[in-house]
Structure 1
Amino acid sequence: MKRHVKICICFIIMIACAPSLSRAQESMDKLWGDAVVKLRVEDATRGQLFNEGNYAMFIHWGLYSLLGNEVDGKTYYGIGEWIMNKNMAGIPIDQYKQLAGKFNPVNFDAHEIARIAKEAGMKYIVITAKHHDGFAMYHSKACDFNIVDATPWKKDPMKELAAACREAGLGFGFYYSHNQDWTFPGGGNGPGKDEEGNRATFDDYFVKKCLPQVNEITTEYGPIELVWFDTPGKMPKHYVEQLVEVVHKNQPRALVSGRAGHGLGDYQTLGDMEVPRHNVEGMWESVDTTNDSWAYAWYDEYWKSPKEILSRLIACVGRGGTYMLNIGPRGDGSVPERAEKTLTQAGEWVRRYPQVVYNTDASPWQHVLPWGDVTRKDNTLFLCVFDWPTSGKLYLPNLKTQIASAELLGVEEGESVTWEKAGQWIALNVPPRAPEKLVSVIQVNLESEPEVDPVWALDPNMATEVLAEFASVDNAEKSEKRWMEKFGEWKGVTHVHGLEKGGAASWEIDVLQPGDYNVELTYSGNGRLVWGVAIEGGQAIQNQQNSSHNYQTFPIGWINFPKAGRYNISVKCLEGEVESASLKAIEFTPMH
């Protein structure tokens, strides 16, 4: 289970059986019984929606949504909530504040948003109370630059959404930008003087606006599950301590996000759009968005498909964490139709397989497998198969624990699955066609706690990608690299670099089926590079390929594993602008 020293969580499981939509659903409910977690906010203990619900909705909505990334007829590409900033449109404060007079979100529907979140399978909602632009999306008494006092709409949408969440059994929480405030004197990256021309300090902002507003959002909107602070920058520790104290005093059940700063949050928050590749200890969350921008951008139609949403959700749960997925309503308050569609289609799958997502723990393999991913509940494994093997065999590498039973879920009355030993592996005998369009699920019940050797293993059916993140390095460096494709649209890899002094990346690889495997490398660099791949004590191959700036995959050649067993594989950059070489992954595909 996820644990944190600051939180002691009592686990309450409601015994319930939702009405079945099909015989298959009835079979699943009967199979799983009362262990399916169907938490409602009123029944949850502190942190339980986060720790067991594992899935939440993030909402970025504000004055910036009215612009949708277009200013004076020009489109600015990047994350919409930063449109005012000098790195995007650079809108002057007075001009930006005038937008409030045009902000009239008549199509905002709190109950509709709560419905979408609930149908998506999410357990709570966190929405922007104040972003970096300083505009309060609630009725703040601390500053008149707020949605009630400064707009023609004159309503407090947070009152409505808090009530709608309680009615739907969802938790409710606020995002609050505690350090940055671009419109209030003294705020982070804000004006240095007040309206009278007097010098303003951060303490002025903190005392007059920040602390009072955090007190408001934690006292005027009922029970709060979470307060999500952001971008602490160089904010001194004593300020953060005061904010955390206010949250915990006013809302004893509420968690504070890891981005409060100075290690004072109740859990860890990863980087924007970051889904980890290896298991992460403790309580943590990944924050992601349904397209590329957090706030609404008129041009952004690059929506994550239902299958991609499920892949990223299950990856977070399978690594031991929680997934919070964002939507960006338009300036009129409506939710983009394609965002709703993809969320609800993914949610239909979650409703069929709640035991895969809720109150489950990390995969004992500690990383993704070639065919999909795994979540765990006690001695039960849920195999989430994204790429169904047409051979009729699904392989579990190096599972040492005995299997008691296995069943294919989502079919009439369930379907038993047989298995057999294949060396130190287990081969499950499965139908040649996947039963599910999105993700098929096999439930494997073990005789005891799962024991697995998490070494990377080459699947006999399909390509196996092994990331540089899992490599050992010799005379080279391994580090995280992050960059923005568009402003605020973060991408990242853990790469091996610094190979110019004969350095190498190496992995221990387990091979079940001997023979030839096609080897491909994913890398970036300058010009044509010569790469070498070698088996310790065995075959070595090398090839020249062109480079890319954004990590393309290039073939190197076939390599032979003469027998089943463990091998040490190394990769070196041999010729060309070796100092530019950056290795992301190696991939093996069986040639049979």
Structure 2
Amino acid sequence: MTTNTYQIRTIVAGLCACLVAAASAEPANLNQEAQAKRDARIQSWQDAKFGLFIHWGLYSIPAGVWTGKDGNHAEQNAGSYAEHIQMRRKIPNVEYAKFADEFNPVKFNADAWVKLAKQAGMRHIVITAKHQDGFAMYDSKVSDFNIVDATPFKRDPMKELATASRKQGLGFGFYYSQARDHRHPLANWNKYGNTWDFPKRSKEDFITYLNEKAKPQIKELLTGYGDVKVMWFDVPYNMPVEECREIAQMVRKFQPDCVFNSRLGGEVWDYRTLGDNEVSKKLLSEPWETCMTMNDSWGYHKLDHNWKSTETLVRHLVDIVSKGGHLLLNIGPKADGTIPEPSVTRLKEMGAWLKINGEAIYGTKASPCGIPNWGRVTTKENGDNTTLYLHVFDWAKDRQIQLPVSNKMLSCSLLADSSRSLQTQSSTQGLKVSLTGDAPDAICSVIK
């Protein structure tokens, strides 16, 4: 893949004001930590821009299909998420637990998974430690419904991934479903609980579940796996505010540099996670994230072949970063521990693009120039100088693109080849850059 970028530098003195990210929705007195420490923690996460999400568990065995039928039939009115098959098909716990007897991912290789994430240009990994089925993908002492005690695999893949991530220089974090647990008899208080095995429960019952299982398991994850960079909580339905605050205090106590998302609930968070696959249509002033699937399902689905192209994924990354956001891109490994080849291919291709264009992504700030119709803009500041990165989606020969800036131009050249310059022209309408020749990159050509 031929990938080239251009370079635009201006002397700043009041370009367009870049958005300043809000520190957090976390109350100022939570754990009495200094504002500067919170800002540094969140800024480190924001600068990373790109992470790997992994949905892997017992649901990888049925892989979206139960009793010969696709678990995502339209009449189920339940979307297309393979990891929700127990809820959609109302599989009794006694039946669902039989998947544990089969789960033996002998082809799992933590070093290879982390190497792939690093090759893709990702800066951290977040993996499902416990999804809504209540099964722990680690050696939990709180519940024996876990991968070490209940499966023939008898290994802790979370421990292996945490070690491999540290060794290869990537951050590591956990997904944890705190508000839904189909296994625990007292957790059925929230929306989409286990109504087929258990009666409806009260708030008091639900808090008992949190105290008996969720909070002790969260503590296990925070204290047993070294540095945890991200705690990714999910489905905050009916989470009592006081319980959210207590969990937040646990994160602060055991992992002071760990960030956690808004799906904990109670408006206690470091950054906001938008809806599944939701991308903001505008620049946001708060730290935010899009979590995105490569196809339609988070967990591995054997019938889901609706893969997004590499071009679509790269442009999503650029779009999100240009609006001040962070992309957490998902893969769903198979039950044998291998990663589907379409995911591998796309991750490697994204990594090839980032190897040349990563400077225009990592550590950048949101566009100071709005959202142009020809692509997107990211920026970096260095003293009195500002570097603009123009990500051109719609490249056309002999075309000019325009920016609403009036600052003095220092240079305009290819990021990959600084000897190749582009002509610029200043006017009362702003700065014009002339595009000449064929598009340097078929996916996204970046001008610096």
TM over 0.5: yes
How far residue 399 of structure 1 moved from its aligned partner, in angstroms, is 2.4
Matched, 1:60 2:39: no
Aligned residues: 404
Q: Which moved more, 1:120-129 or 1:401-410?
A: 401-410
Matched, 1:437 2:442: yes
User: What's 1:402 paired with?
Assistant: 408
The 2-side partners of 1:345 and 1:365 are apart by 29
The residue identity in structure 1 corresponding to 2:302 is W
User: What's 1:315 paired with?
Assistant: 319
The 2-side partners of 1:262 and 1:206 are apart by 15
The 2-side partners of 1:61 and 1:99 are apart by 13
How far residue 213 of structure 1 moved from its aligned partner, in angstroms, is 0.2
User: What's 1:4 paired with?
Assistant: 23
Answer yes or no: is the 8 Å Cα contact 1:410–1:436 preserved in 2: no
Structure with larger Rg: 1
Counterpart pick for 2:353 among 340, 346, 349 = 349
The 2-side partners of 1:338 and 1:193 are apart by 37
Answer yes or no: is the 8 Å Cα contact 2:274–2:291 preserved in 1: yes
How far residue 114 of structure 1 moved from its aligned partner, in angstroms, is 0.4
The residue identity in structure 1 corresponding to 2:21 is K
The residue identity in structure 1 corresponding to 2:69 is K
Answer yes or no: is the 8 Å Cα contact 1:108–1:334 preserved in 2: yes
Matched, 1:97 2:97: yes
The 2-side partners of 1:284 and 1:55 are apart by 12
CA 1:414/1:345 → structure 2, altered by over 3 Å: closer, same or farther?
farther
How far residue 72 of structure 1 moved from its aligned partner, in angstroms, is 1.4
The 1-side partners of 2:37 and 2:349 are apart by 32
The 1-side partners of 2:204 and 2:145 are apart by 18
The residue identity in structure 2 corresponding to 1:83 is I
Answer yes or no: is the 8 Å Cα contact 2:356–2:416 preserved in 1: yes
The 2-side partners of 1:358 and 1:9 are apart by 21
Counterpart pick for 1:305 among 296, 302, 309 = 309
The percentage of counterpart residues that share the same residue type is: 39
User: What's 1:540 paired with?
Assistant: none
User: What's 1:384 paired with?
Assistant: 391
The 2-side partners of 1:388 and 1:98 are apart by 54
The 2-side partners of 1:432 and 1:9 are apart by 48
How far residue 200 of structure 1 moved from its aligned partner, in angstroms, is 8.6
Answer yes or no: is the 8 Å Cα contact 1:393–1:427 preserved in 2: no
Structure 2 counterparts to residues 276-315 of structure 1, below 5 A: 276-315=280-319
Counterpart pick for 1:80 among 65, 68, 82 = 82
Q: Output one character per residue of 1:342-362: Cα deviation in whole Å (capped at 9) or x when no partner.
A: 111111111112211111000
User: What's 1:248 paired with?
Assistant: 252
User: What's 2:12 paired with?
Assistant: none
The 1-side partners of 2:68 and 2:300 are apart by 16
Instruction: Give the TM-score normalised by structure 1.
Output: 0.65
Unaligned runs of 5+ residues in structure 1 are 12-44, 444-592
Q: Output one character per residue of 1:188-243: Cα deviation in whole Å (capped at 9) or x when no partner.
A: 41369889x9x991122111111110010000011000111110101111111111
CA 1:68/1:422 → structure 2, altered by over 3 Å: closer, same or farther?
same
Answer yes or no: is the 8 Å Cα contact 1:290–1:326 preserved in 2: yes
CA 1:180/1:135 → structure 2, altered by over 3 Å: closer, same or farther?
same
Answer yes or no: is the 8 Å Cα contact 1:139–1:149 preserved in 2: yes
The 2-side partners of 1:309 and 1:53 are apart by 17
The residue identity in structure 1 corresponding to 2:412 is A
Identify the structure with the greater helix proportion: 2
User: What's 2:378 paired with?
Assistant: 375
Matched, 1:415 2:443: no
Matched, 1:70 2:65: yes
Structure 2 counterparts to residues 130-279 of structure 1, below 5 A: 130-188=130-188, 189-190=193-194, 201-279=205-283
How far residue 48 of structure 1 moved from its aligned partner, in angstroms, is 4.7
Q: Output one character per residue of 1:493-547: Cα deviation in whole Å (capped at 9) or x when no partner.
A: xxxxxxxxxxxxxxxxxxxxxxxxxxxxxxxxxxxxxxxxxxxxxxxxxxxxxxx
Answer yes or no: is the 8 Å Cα contact 1:186–1:192 preserved in 2: no
Answer yes or no: is the 8 Å Cα contact 1:111–1:164 preserved in 2: yes
The residue identity in structure 2 corresponding to 1:201 is D
Unaligned runs of 5+ residues in structure 2 are 1-19, 27-34, 73-79
Answer yes or no: is the 8 Å Cα contact 1:2–1:51 preserved in 2: no
Greater relative CO (CA pairs within 8 A, separation 6+)? 2
CA 1:298/1:429 → structure 2, altered by over 3 Å: closer, same or farther?
same
Q: Secondary structure at the match of 2:129?
A: strand
Q: Secondary structure at the match of 1:323?
A: strand
Q: Output one character per residue of 1:313-333: Cα deviation in whole Å (capped at 9) or x when no partner.
A: 111110011111111101111
Matched, 1:50 2:45: yes
RMSD: 2.2
Answer yes or no: is the 8 Å Cα contact 2:290–2:320 preserved in 1: yes
How far residue 401 of structure 1 moved from its aligned partner, in angstroms, is 2.7
